[in-house]
A and B are shown apart, each in its own frame.
Chain A
């Protein structure tokens, strides 16, 4: 069964880069890697996704290992507003009409001022 593994928590200083790792050794060729984050008392928020190549957007970068068994979410300059639980997720196509999300346990990111 597909699953993801993440560290329970990480700490970083404000204005420094943060690298959040995720292992997904059981990933299959058509599974997309998605990252969401959840701020306190809010629903999950989309961050970034990728399949094979590294990806960048305004929020973060996603580095995907060549064998796709792991990935790293990179926040280039973390701010206090980035403190959240970050989820590494595999998005699987299970039928023509549905896409299952396999959620990791999440990494609680603590930003120190």
Chain B
């Protein structure tokens, strides 16, 4: 089954404790992206990647890092999480191009205390 898999689904952590949210897709998509969803703000792009070893900042990259060492994986790293990073995070992938539908994972709900 074609899918985007995120782990974990839920994560509670404390300020400053490094964490990684994993994202994997099995559709051989070149494009991958991370979003955060906050009430009233819709989905905002954090980072995106056009292909292996190619990443770039989205609208709200501060406090986040990503890597793309393999085509299927695109982990999101929070080196020193803060409470304002409490949010619902989604990973998405697609083929390149403005017309290609994005496939989203089921989300990771992160709480930073």
Q: Which residues of A contact B (CB under 8 A)?
A: 32, 34, 36, 41-46, 49, 87, 91, 93, 97-101, 103-106
Contacts and interface: CB of A to CB of B under 8 A. Distances in A.
B106 A43 contact: yes
Interface of B: 4, 40, 42-43, 45, 48, 50, 54, 56, 58-59, 90, 92, 97-99, 101-107
Per CB-CB distance, the 6 closest pairs between chain A and chain B, nearest first, are: A43-B104, A103-B42, A46-B101, A97-B50, A44-B104, A43-B90
Given A32-B98, A32-B99, A49-B101, A41 B106 contact: yes
B27 to A, nearest CB: 13
Nearest to B105: A43
Given A32-B98, A46-B102, A104 B42 contact: yes
Given A103-B42, A104-B42, A105-B42, 6 more contacts: A41-B107, A44-B43, A45-B104, A91-B98, A101-B102, A105-B40
Contacts, number: 48
B106 A42 contact: yes
Given A49-B101, A91-B98, A44 B90 contact: yes
A104 B107 CA distance: 19
A2 to B, nearest CB: 13
Contacts of B104: 43-45
Contacts of B58: 98
B43 A103 contact: yes
Contacts of B97: 99
Nearest to B91: A43
Contacts of A105: 40, 42
